[in-house]
Amino acid sequence: MLGILMAYLFPFTIPTILFSFGVIHEKYEWILMFSPSHSSNHLITSSIIGNYDLLKIITSCIYLTLLSIILFNYFIYPKLKKNALRG
């Protein structure tokens, strides 16, 4: 289980942390928006600080909504149906 967590952490969370500290330049932020961690971090940061970039906010909302729908329909719900009968 720890291996799965580390496999998720390195490609998706570490670049977001490096971007927050200024290690990764701002011109690469659109590439980082493919990371769910960075998209949600951008939404939280923009709501707290108040720096709004409307295009990035709309893109993040649409991306996270589509990602959650796809994950639920193709990964979570089929396993739920299969394992709910076993108890």
pLDDT at 38 over 70: yes
pLDDT at 82 over 90: no
* Surface-to-core class of residue 38, CB atoms within 10 Å of its CB (0-12 exposed, 13-18 middle, 19+ buried): buried
| Model pLDDT, residue 72 | 94
pLDDT tens digits, residue range 19-34?
Answer: 989 999 999 999 999 9
Using a pLDDT cut of 70, give the percent of the chain over it. Answer: 99
Ordered by start, the domain boundaries in the chain are 2-84
Q: What is the CB neighbour count within 10 angstroms for residue 54?
A: 8
CB 11 within 8 A of CB 42: no
| Model pLDDT, residue 12 | 86
CB 18 within 8 A of CB 24: yes
Encoded tokens for 61: 């909302």
What does pLDDT average to over the chain? 90
Measured distance between the N- and C-terminal CA atoms of the chain, rounded to whole angstroms: 22
For the whole model, what pTM was predicted?
0.81
